[in-house]
Structure 1
Amino acid sequence: MFKKNSLKKIRNQGSIVFKSQLLQDLTPFERYELLQLCHRRKFKEGEFIYHQNDPGAGIYFIEEGWVRLVVSKNLENDQTEKFTVDLQAPSEIGIMSIGYEIPRMATAQCLKDSILLGFFKPDFETLKKRNPETAVKFLEAVTNQTMKRFELSMNQLKKTTDLETAFSIMFREYNKSE
């Protein structure tokens, strides 16, 4: 009835549906509905998914495999400082690109052959038309996840600098617009 590969695909997508922190506030039906709009893509070991500073076009759910995120910073002495994070299924990358015009903060590269589900801005527009309530819940989940990361970053910044520096950084751009 089902081929071995079909069962594996269903199992992997089920893992995303039920284990994704980003999707935890959506019902199983809403998660399934969102994943039906995703684009399944196979990446080879070493292949890049996107590069740091690329326009954020969508989110990726890691269905199978390992992905390395690399943040690079050029230093004054012509050297580069790098920080890496390795993620495996079921995880998601690029969450801030849905609903926000934020360039990619890191480069994403596959550490081994991987399968990712891409959910892009046009897919989000389709979701909004088909089921606005699910789209709102999904965007709320993205916002909540982003705000949790922001809070962790601010708390770490307050620990490594002083309170005045941390808050002046946070409000510097805000005050420029006035």
Structure 2
Amino acid sequence: MFGSNKFNNMKNKSDLIFKSRFLKNLTMLERSEFFQYCHRRQYKENEYIYYQGDPGTGMYFVEDGKVELIVQPEPEAEDEETHSYVIESPESFGALSIGYELRRISNAKCLTDCTLLGFFKPDFETLKKRHPTIAVKFMETLAMIAMKQLEITTKELKKASSTERAFSLQFKTYMEPEQE
């Protein structure tokens, strides 16, 4: 009845809708609506999706395949190692680039042929206008992720330097005007 490719595509998309940890605070109907704003992209094995240092323009959901996120050490950090993480469906990556002006902190490379669903800043702007409730829930998730990352980073900074230094940096970023 269904061609095997069509059936697999439907199954993969339903896995994203039902199993995405990133979208867990949305109802099933809201998740389905959210995915209407995503763009399906095909990538070949060993193709890069983006590079470390690129401006963040959107996030990706892995529909099919495996993606490696590779964090290269800074050139001046001679004794640091490259770290990588492999993700696959129904995981996502790059989410903080939607709500914040951030540069990519890793390379994203396809380990296999991949099908990804991209959700970009203009898609979020459209979502805000058409479905503000979904957009608010999306931003709540981003804020929760950012706060968790801040908490982990602060703990590590306190270990590496001091509580006073960690607090000083947080307070300084809050009190100083943004640099353009």
Same fold (TM over 0.5): yes
Structure 1 contact 75–81 (Cα < 8 Å) conserved: no
For the structure 1 residues 136 and 71, does the alpha-carbon distance in structure 2 shift closer, same or farther, using more than 3 Å as the test? same
Secondary structure in structure 2 of the residue aligned to 1:123: helix
Cα distance per residue 1:30-82 (max 9 Å; x no partner): 11111111111111111000111111111100111111111223343878742
* Partner in structure 1 of residue 95 of structure 2: 95
* Partner in structure 1 of residue 29 of structure 2: 29
Structure 2 counterparts to residues 1-178 of structure 1, below 5 A: 1-76=1-76, 81-177=81-177
Distance in 2 of aligned mates of 1:119 and 1:162: 38
Question: Please, which runs of 5 or more residues in structure 2 have no aligned partner?
Answer: none
Which stretch has the larger CA shift, 51-60 or 80-89?
80-89
Which stretch has the larger CA shift, 50-59 or 79-88?
79-88
Using the size of structure 2 for normalisation, the TM-score is 0.89
Secondary structure in structure 1 of the residue aligned to 2:72: strand
CA RMSD of aligned residues (A): 2.0
Using the size of structure 1 for normalisation, the TM-score is 0.89
Pairwise CA distance, 1:157: 2.7
Instruction: Report the structure, 1 or 2, having the larger strand content.
Output: 1
For the structure 1 residues 77 and 49, does the alpha-carbon distance in structure 2 shift closer, same or farther, using more than 3 Å as the test? closer
State the AA in 2 paired with 1:14: S
Equivalent pairs counted in the alignment come to 178
Q: Percent identity?
A: 47
Secondary structure in structure 2 of the residue aligned to 1:104: coil
Distance in 2 of aligned mates of 1:75 and 1:122: 34
Distance in 2 of aligned mates of 1:66 and 1:171: 39
State the AA in 1 paired with 2:14: G
State the AA in 2 paired with 1:39: H
Distance in 1 of aligned mates of 2:76 and 2:153: 25
Distance in 2 of aligned mates of 1:78 and 1:144: 33
Structure 1 contact 22–145 (Cα < 8 Å) conserved: no
Distance in 2 of aligned mates of 1:76 and 1:148: 28
Pairwise CA distance, 1:29: 0.6
